[in-house]
């Protein structure tokens, strides 16, 4: 989990003489994380939309005799502190200690990227520019004269490609060289009127021998740009009284020249014209290229105003259909494996209690969770494709109008979709929302998007009550109704708790990219391994606990009274029936049974027996535990039917359809898991929000389940 800083590789030692600390800066979605991945052996998360990296991440690696610390910063369009992630970057660049900046720019869209570069150049830090995506630029017939560009703006520019790893070594060499050499001044030239004003201020500072680490020119530029930090610094100096009138006069001149009352706008125009000049000099593009790009062609279909939304819904339906249909194929084998494995291991253990712990506790619990790995993999592939192709932003575009009606922001879509995978990264990615109220609202709704861990519960129940042909549709229906319910909840919250003006919606639509097989494979593998690791550790431990709580305390008197009854039984059938009855009674008077019985009245209006009640309570720790708890409880319980020993079979026999519907509704709505709750609290900023969330989701879950239960009863 990302905390404030995340150290990926601890092998390299940063405390050496030849240590270089690099800040990696660039606009969103230019491939900063990807570049780090190809420089070192890190595996940072990469996607094709703005806002993948929302917190700074440190990566350490060695190159020749140097050791590097690279800080991957969230992408930022300009130094404006518009969103939290942009603030992270701005604060880091201004306040932290680092040696050099690598400014990553997208070679295929140089002019726009240089907007940020020109702001970096006034920072009096050493800068190296990485002209990334040079392979894509080549394909688009864009040619950049990197040498001429280095000369023009006075900082080294290196063509690189994070994908093909071209130019990576040259880039590192350039960084080392720049680090070793004294700083040379970047050549950022403004229009004549602005240059005159700058010269005036520089002359004044020079006259008074003002002492500063920054150059006079940069101070002058920052003062003219109304940079708060520079102002604060000079405000306490004796020269301020004389400087102030000069500044006011200078600002007036510049504003007049730009016909604007906004000095920031004037400077943006200055930068833009400088950048246009640079681009005109160094970029050669084949103008004979066709007018519409491939991206625009694809867009004309995918964001079509009539077909766009149906196409999106079809993709989602397809994903859940595949999740169930294809995911079901290996399920029987996995199930059979765990039954065989349990029997084999069980045969080697003599002690009854230990055998039961291992077979009925750990193996049944973990097996029930591992069973759903194929479904999880397919769902993760779907989300990885959505993230890496660029389609995500299109859906945000299509749905913004709809979302807006419910008080949500179009960009809320990105954390919400991430929420279908796991709520934790979803909570983190809500940082792309600027306004705190919108962000809180989105945080509250993320839980309604059913995460991957809830999938096993749905697959289990859908498989138990529906034919395989229908189960995929049911799965789709569950997810969609969860999402719609989330929208309604958003509307409710917006009308009550989160009233206020709407945040503007201005978002970049990235170019479509074919995701590399390697990238998808890696993302899916990492997430799947995390799921398996959780099954092997957390879930196994929880299963043991559930087993223990459901086996103890032993009630010897009860066992004896039943064993005499069993001995006296006349027929074999009667014996089996009595044995089952004993198991059931023993389970009911166990610790877990006591808890279940105690809470049963609360859940009775929803049609849950005590086993389901317990499963929901253990599910507060993690949703997979719901399945493993049911697995343990029902494998210990009454059912010993040889033909139908799978959990699905047991469930369809023991739970009524209406109860099952209510159960799914509760799982769909209530708190995701312990870990997610911790992250939620951190992102929301105060522990009180957690209690609001707990109360809100529990209440909605209870009410909705109650309604669902009674409607189903009426219909059947």
Partner 1 sequence: MKTLLDCKKACVVKVLKLNTKGDLKQRLISFGIMKETTLEVLEHAPAKSTIEVKVGKMRIALRAQEAELIEVEKI
Shortest distance in whole angstroms from residue 151 CB to partner 1 = 24
Between 202 and 266, CB nearer to partner 1: 266
Does 509 help bind partner 1 (rule: CB under 8 A)?
A: yes
Between 48 and 659, CB nearer to partner 1: 48
555-580 b/e with 16+ CB inside 10 Å = b? eeeeeeebeeebeeeeeeeeeeebbe
Here the tokens at position 485 are 């319910």
How far apart, in whole angstroms, are the C-alpha atoms of residue 176 and residue 398?
A: 46
**Do 46 and 32 contact (CB within 8 A), yes or no?**
no
Between 293 and 555, CB nearer to partner 1: 293
Here the tokens at position 576 are 């089996």
For 303, the enclosing helix (H) or strand (E) is: none
Residues in the chain: 716
Does 227 help bind partner 1 (rule: CB under 8 A)?
A: no
How far apart, in whole angstroms, are the C-alpha atoms of residue 2 and residue 21?
A: 20
Does 396 help bind partner 1 (rule: CB under 8 A)?
A: yes
User: Which of the stretches 126-134, 393-401, 540-548, 582-590 binds partner 1 when contact is defined by CB under 8 A?
Assistant: 393-401
C-alpha angle 433-436-441 in degrees, rounded to nearest 5: 80
Here the tokens at position 263 are 């000095």
User: Which of the stretches 298-306, 448-456, 651-659, 690-698 binds partner 1 when contact is defined by CB under 8 A?
Assistant: 298-306
Does 264 help bind partner 1 (rule: CB under 8 A)?
A: yes
Tokens 């999880």 sit on residue: 376
Does 508 help bind partner 1 (rule: CB under 8 A)?
A: yes
Applying the rule CB under 8 A, the residues between 526 and 585 that interact with partner 1 are none
Applying the rule CB under 8 A, the residues between 110 and 139 that interact with partner 1 are 111-112, 115
From the list 506, 558, 674, 707, which residue makes contact with partner 1 (rule: CB under 8 A)?
Answer: 506
Site track 402-431 with partner 1 (rule: CB under 8 A), x = hit: x-x-----x---------------------
Does 251 help bind partner 1 (rule: CB under 8 A)?
A: no
Beta strands in 18-172 (DSSP E): 19-26, 57-63, 66-72, 100-106, 126-132, 142-144, 157-159
Name residue 143's beta-bridge partners: 284
Here the tokens at position 319 are 């994903």
Does 479 help bind partner 1 (rule: CB under 8 A)?
A: no
Between 67 and 393, CB nearer to partner 1: 393
Does 80 help bind partner 1 (rule: CB under 8 A)?
A: yes
Does 281 help bind partner 1 (rule: CB under 8 A)?
A: no
Shortest distance in whole angstroms from residue 507 CB to partner 1 = 5
**623 Cβ contact list (under 8 Å, min separation 6):** 451, 453, 454, 456, 457, 667, 672, 673
Does 270 help bind partner 1 (rule: CB under 8 A)?
A: no
For 284, the enclosing helix (H) or strand (E) is: strand 283-285
Does 268 help bind partner 1 (rule: CB under 8 A)?
A: yes
How far apart, in whole angstroms, are the C-alpha atoms of residue 618 and residue 628?
A: 10
Please state, in angstroms and as integers, the Cα–Cα distance from residue 210 to each residue in 220, 234, 536, following that order: 12, 10, 64
Count of residues in contact with partner 1, rule CB under 8 A:
43
Does 78 help bind partner 1 (rule: CB under 8 A)?
A: yes
From the list 98, 204, 210, 505, which residue makes contact with partner 1 (rule: CB under 8 A)?
Answer: 505
How far apart, in whole angstroms, are the C-alpha atoms of residue 666 and residue 697?
A: 9
Does 312 help bind partner 1 (rule: CB under 8 A)?
A: no
User: Which of the stretches 170-178, 323-331, 362-370, 389-397 binds partner 1 when contact is defined by CB under 8 A?
Assistant: 389-397
Tokens 């010993």 sit on residue: 640
Between 86 and 624, CB nearer to partner 1: 86
> Which positions touch partner 1 (CB under 8 A)?
77-78, 80, 82, 108-109, 111-112, 115, 260, 262, 264-265, 268-269, 272, 295-296, 299-300, 303-306, 308-309, 393, 396-398, 400-402, 404, 410, 434, 502, 504-509
């Amino acid at each position: 989990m990302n905390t404030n800083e995340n150290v990926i590789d601890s092998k390299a030692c940063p405390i050496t003489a030849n240590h270089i600390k690099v800040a990696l800066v660039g606009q969103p979605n230019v491939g900063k994380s990807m570049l780090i991945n190809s420089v070192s052996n890190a595996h940072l998360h990469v996607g094709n939309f703005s806002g993948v990296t929302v917190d700074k991440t440190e990566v350490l690696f060695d190159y020749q005799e140097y050791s590097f610390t690279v800080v991957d910063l969230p992408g930022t369009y300009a130094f404006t502190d518009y969103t939290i992630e942009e603030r992270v970057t701005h604060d880091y660049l201004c306040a932290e200690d680092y040696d050099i900046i690598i400014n990553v720019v997208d070679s295929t869209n140089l002019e726009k990227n240089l907007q940020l570069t020109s702001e970096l150049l006034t920072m009096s830090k050493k800068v190296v520019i990485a002209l990334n995506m040079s392979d894509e630029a080549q394909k688009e017939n864009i040619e950049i004269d990197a040498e001429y560009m280095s000369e023009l703006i006075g900082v080294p520019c290196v063509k690189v490609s994070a994908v093909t790893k071209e130019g990576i070594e040259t880039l590192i060499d350039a960084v080392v060289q720049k680090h070793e050499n004294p700083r040379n001044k970047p050549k950022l030239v403004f229009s004549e009127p602005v240059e005159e004003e700058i010269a005036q201020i520089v002359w004044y500072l020079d006259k008074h021998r003002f002492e500063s680490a920054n150059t006079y020119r940069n101070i002058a530029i920052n003062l003219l740009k109304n940079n708060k930090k520079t102002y604060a610094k000079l405000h306490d100096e004796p020269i301020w009284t004389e400087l102030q009138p000069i500044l006011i006069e200078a600002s007036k001149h510049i504003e007049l020249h730009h016909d604007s009352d906004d000095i920031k706008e004037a400077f943006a125009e200055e930068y833009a014209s400088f950048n246009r000049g640079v681009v005109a000099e160094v970029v050669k593009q084949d103008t004979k290229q066709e007018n519409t790009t491939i991206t625009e062609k694809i867009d004309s279909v995918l964001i079509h105003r009539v077909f766009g939304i149906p196409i999106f819904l079809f993709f989602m339906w397809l994903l859940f259909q595949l999740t169930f249909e294809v995911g079901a194929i290996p399920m029987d084998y996995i199930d059979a494996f765990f039954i065989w494995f349990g029997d084999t291991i069980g045969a080697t253990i003599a002690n009854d209690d230990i055998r039961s712990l291992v077979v009925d506790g750990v193996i049944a619990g973990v097996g029930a969770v591992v069973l759903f790995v194929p479904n999880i993999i397919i769902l993760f592939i779907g989300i990885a494709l959505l993230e890496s192709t660029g389609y995500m932003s299109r859906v945000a575009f299509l749905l913004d109008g709809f979302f807006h009606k419910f008080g949500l922001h179009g960009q809320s879509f990105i954390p919400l979709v991430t929420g279908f995978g796991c709520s934790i990264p979803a909570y983190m990615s809500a940082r792309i929302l600027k306004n705190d109220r919108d962000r809180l609202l989105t945080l509250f709704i993320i839980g309604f998007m059913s995460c991957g861990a809830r999938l096993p519960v749905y697959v289990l129940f859908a498989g138990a009550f529906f034919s395989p042909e229908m189960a995929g549709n049911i799965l789709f229906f569950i997810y969609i109704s969860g999402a719609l319910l989330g929208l309604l909840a958003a509307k409710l919250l917006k009308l009550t708790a989160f009233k206020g003006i709407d945040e503007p919606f201005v978002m970049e639509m990235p170019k479509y990219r074919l995701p590399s097989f390697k990238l998808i494979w890696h993302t899916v593998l990492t997430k799947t391994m995390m799921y398996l690791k959780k099954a092997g550790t957390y879930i196994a431990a929880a299963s043991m606990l559930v087993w223990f709580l459901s086996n103890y305390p032993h009630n010897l008197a009860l066992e004896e009274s039943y064993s005499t009854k069993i001995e006296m039984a006349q027929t074999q059938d009667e014996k089996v029936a009595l044995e089952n009855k004993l198991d059931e009674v023993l389970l009911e008077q166990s610790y877990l049974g006591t808890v279940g019985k105690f809470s049963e009245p609360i859940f009775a209006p929803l049609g849950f027996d005590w086993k389901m009640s317990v499963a929901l309570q253990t599910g507060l720790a993690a949703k997979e535990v719901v399945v493993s708890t049911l697995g343990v409880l029902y494998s210990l319980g009454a059912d010993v039917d040889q033909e139908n020993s799978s959990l699905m079979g047991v469930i369809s026999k023991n739970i009524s359809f209406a109860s099952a519907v209510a159960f799914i509704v509760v799982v769909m709505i209530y708190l995701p898991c312990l870990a997610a709750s911790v992250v939620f609290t951190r992102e929301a900023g105060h522990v009180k929000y957690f209690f609001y969330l707990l109360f809100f989701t529990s209440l909605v879950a209870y009410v909705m389940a109650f309604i669902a239960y009674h409607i189903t009863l009426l219909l059947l």
